[in-house]
Every structure is written in C-alpha cells, then in structure tokens.
Structure 1
Amino acid sequence: MEIQKHIRCKFGDVGEYVFIPGDEARAEKIAERLENVVLIARNRAYHVYTGTLNGVKVSVCSTGIGGPSASIAIEELIKVGAKTLIRVGSAGSRQPDMPIGSLVIATAAYRGEGTSHAYAPAPFPAVADLRVTLALMRAAKYLGYDFYHGVVYTRDAYYVQDQNLNEFLRECGVVAAEQECAITFILGSVKHVRTGAILATDSNIWLKPQPSLEEKEKLFRVAEKRAIDVTIKAVEILIEEDRSGKKDIL
C-alpha cells in the first residue's frame, strides 16, 4: 500500500488497464472518455486518472517526454497493479509517402535511445505484445480508420538528425520516429506485462516543402482524436477477451 514516489499512487488506485500518453493534456482528453473518472494524483509530468470502461476499472497516466520519464511511470504503475499498458503517443512519419496526421500501430521499436539498454542488452528486441497489437488493429478497422503498422524508431535527441541513419531507416521500412516505444516494450518483456502503442503523426522529415506549424497541428489534432478512439475501443476488446478467458490469439 506504499505510495509511489513519482506517480503518487498506491495499490488499488489504478486499474489493470492503463493508457499511457506522454502529454498531460492528452491524458485529460482520454480521461474525459471514461465513466466515473477521478483525478487520483498530479505530480510533475505524471497526471493519473481512474475511471471505468464497460464496468471495469481503467486508468490514464501521462509519462512525460522520453525514456527516463516513461520508465519511471511504467515501473511504478506496474508496482501498483497495472497489467496492460498502451502508449497513445505522437510521432514523426518516416516514409516519404506517409501524410502528416496518419495513425501508426507500432509492432516493435529500433532501440536508438539509452533507457531500454539499462534493462536489456542491445541484441534483445523491443516488441509489442501481440494480443494488444491485434486489438489495436481490430479497433481501427472497426472504426473505419486507415493506419500504418510496423517498426518505429525510438530516440533520445529530438533535434538531432543523422542523414545516413534516416536513409537507412527509410530503406528498412521504419514507419515513424518517437521517444517512448522502446522502453515501453522492453519493460513489457522484462516485467511480464502486456504493452502496445498507437501513434498519431505530427510531422514528416521527407516532405518538401514543409507545411507550416499551424497546418501540422491541425492535421495532428484529428489524428490524435482517432488514436484515442482506437485505444478506447482496443481496451474494450481486451476487456471482453479477458472476461471470456480467450486464450488463442486469432
């Protein structure tokens, strides 16, 4: 029952299903979609809400920007009972033909950051839970939303662009660049919990000319809402599967 140092929660404060956006404002948007929602704690970048979805306790916790901040939130959420954690994030499109405002369901992450390497050696893959990933895909299809899926690039230095690496990632089919998927997926493996991620794209380094910031933000807001829609539906799917005791993946 000990209060966690950063998220300021104890066992019983959060549900087994947790939405983990980076942005505090996005956490609030997700929380508004829940029933009987209560603000549990607000400390630094960590804003925690708990409510219900289809009669089941679920929670939202913002994780801040980057691996170190996200790892703290995920570690502490797991300590107080979280078992399924889904990142609802933003990313930059990394294929030339991907428009800004796309949805990306991440299946795995290229570990270009540092935090995940404190948990597992470099050869170990950062892979999303298959059941969570399929639930996200089913939810997107149910809602009629187009989406991309595949490997994303997780990095630390937001403003650093390595042209050779960018070209390699493009040639390998990496769909987006972001900052938290690798540590989310690695912690899923190390801590034996289910993790997944859906991202809304807010930029694309390959576009010429580049749209204005206002144009990018307008496209992103539509995609952000859709990402939230998909994640809500995916959690409903997972809740139903878990209630039924479904064991098979397909």
Structure 2
Amino acid sequence: MTVSPASPAPLPITGVPRTGLPPYAVVVGDPARAAAVAEFLDDAKEVSYHREYRTFTGSWRELPVVVSSHGVGAPGALLLFQELAQAGVTHFIRLGTAGAIRRGIADGDLVIADAAVRDDGVTGQLIPAEYPAFGTPEAVLALTRAARAAGAPHHRGVVWTRAAFQPGFVPLPAAAYEAAGVAAIEMELSALYVFAATRGLVAGGALVVDGANADELVDEEATGGYDPHRSVVADGVARGARITLDALRLLAADVPAQAGGTR
C-alpha cells in the first residue's frame, strides 16, 4: 500500500497554504468583504479562515486570483502580506475604505493612491522613516485605466496611513496634510507599499471614500457620527472590487514590461 505524504502545515499566522497561491491578490480589511469580493469570481473557494485572515481563490475573467482579508491596522495586515508573498503572491492591490481629506472627494468615490504617509505604527520599526511608501507605477496606472473604463468617479493622490482610528490627546496634522493636498486617510496601505517595494513586488491601492473630512478628523463628536454602512459606500465598494480585479488583469497582461522594474 502506498501512503501519500501528509500535506504541509499551513502558514502559522494566516492559515493560508504554504505554496501554490496565484500571484495576483486583492487584499481587504473585513473578512465579510473578502467573501463579498469572492462572489464576483468564478469557481470561488475558501481556502482558509484564521483570526481576521479569510482567504479565497477563484478566477476573474480567466485570471486566477486570491482574495484575502487582513483586519484593521497595519501591523496585522503586514503579517498577511508577508505570508501571501511566501505562498506565491507577487501582485497586491488593497481595496479598502478611507476618509476624504482633500475637498471635492465625495462618498463612494475611489481614491487611487500614488503613495502613502508612513504614520502606520509598524514600518518605522522595520526601515528608516526617510524610506518612502510608494505604489508601483504600473499598478497605479492599471487602477486608473480600469476606473476610467468603468466610468467611476476617482481621484489620484497621496493618502495618510495612520495607526490610531479615533483622535486622542495628541494634535493631528490634518490641516497641514489637507493644505499639502493629501487625498484621504486610512490604516494599512503604507505597510503594503513599503513591504512590496523592499521585496521587489507589485502593489497598488484603491480606497472607497466612506466619509470624513479634515475638520472631522480633529473633532471627536463629528467622528462619532461616522457611518460606513450606507448604500453609497456599499455601491462604491462593489464598483471598486470590479475595478481592482480588472486592474489585476491589466497587470497580468503587462507582466513582461514590468520585469525590469522589480527586484
């Protein structure tokens, strides 16, 4: 009798398989959002669910993809990015939500992040603060192209990745960032950008605006009225999911052109 070898144990933090994942991934915060994005895929299959990390595989218009959740905050999200890369992912796009800072950005609009302010609470422990958090140009352009093709309201710019969700006793530089043209605030993207750039991987970020502006960021009573559970946001996330998946297909079609730009 032939005894087949035992399957290797999954990776320890996220529970994803150690090898064999497709190279193209959409990463989101909420496990329920991962499931919602997976509904767009053909042959979607849940491959792991451990803590906040829920992972699906499937295909989008014949492109094999991964959809995985990383929870809230950059330190935990970084663990997902590391283990997905170990399992075979080379191209990441974060689909998240964000609060608008720059005027003229409406709820449900998409912000495509060229770069991120590194106020994330984790990358400063990994590499000096002077190192930039920047999206891979090919990914940023693919997202922009996909958003235009979808006729979706979208904006390009720098986003502010901040570790603390609620304002505290330390004054925030929100007015300075608004004056500098920073588009939106969120909690994980700079960790992805630093991780990808230092590993020679491809990364982009598409963020659906779910409220806020620079005045609300420094007003605890205003932020207490924050409500991301509105139809305008849900519609924006669904639209953003399709745009993100389309951007991955554009990246997949352009792989030979990217080869010289990665390490």
Q: Provide the TM-score with structure 2 as the length reference.
A: 0.87
Match of 1:7 among 7, 14, 17: 14
Cα distance in 2, alignment partners of residues 152 and 177 from structure 1: 6
1:44 paired to 2:57: no
Q: Partner letter of residue 130 of structure 1? A: P
Q: Secondary structure at the match of 1:203?
A: coil
Paired position in structure 1 for 2:257? 246
Q: Unpaired segments of 5 or more residues in structure 1?
A: none
Cα distance in 2, alignment partners of residues 217 and 39 from structure 1: 27
User: Which stretch of the first structure deviates more once superposed, 129-138 or 115-124?
Assistant: 115-124
Task: Return the index of the structure with the highest Cα Rg.
Answer: 2
Identity %: 27
Cα distance in 1, alignment partners of residues 164 and 193 from structure 2: 19
Deviations 1:153-207 (A, max 9, x none): 0001100166550100000000000000110000011121101100001112347
Match of 1:202 among 204, 207, 210: 210
User: Which stretch of the first structure deviates more once superposed, 208-217 or 89-98?
Assistant: 208-217
Q: Offset of 1:112 from its aligned partner?
A: 1.2
1:168 paired to 2:176: yes
Q: Offset of 1:217 from its aligned partner?
A: 2.0
| Aligned-pair Cα RMSD in Å | 2.2
1:88 paired to 2:98: no
Paired position in structure 2 for 1:76? 83
Q: Is the 8 A contact 1:94 1:176 kept in 2?
A: yes
1:222 paired to 2:216: no
Deviations 1:92-142 (A, max 9, x none): 000233222221000100111221112211001000001011000000011
Paired position in structure 1 for 2:3? none
Matches within 5 A, 1:1-250: 1-160=8-167, 165-206=173-214, 217-242=230-255, 245-247=256-258
How many residue pairs align between the two structures?
A: 247
Q: Secondary structure at the match of 2:102?
A: coil
Cα distance in 2, alignment partners of residues 54 and 84 from structure 1: 17
Q: Partner letter of residue 20 of structure 1? A: V
Q: Partner letter of residue 93 of structure 1? A: A
Q: Secondary structure at the match of 2:164?
A: coil
Q: Is the 8 A contact 1:96 1:204 kept in 2?
A: no
Q: Is the 8 A contact 2:113 2:158 kept in 1?
A: yes
User: Which stretch of the first structure deviates more once superposed, 169-178 or 206-215?
Assistant: 206-215
Q: Provide the TM-score with structure 1 as the length reference.
A: 0.91
Cα distance in 1, alignment partners of residues 149 and 171 from structure 2: 38
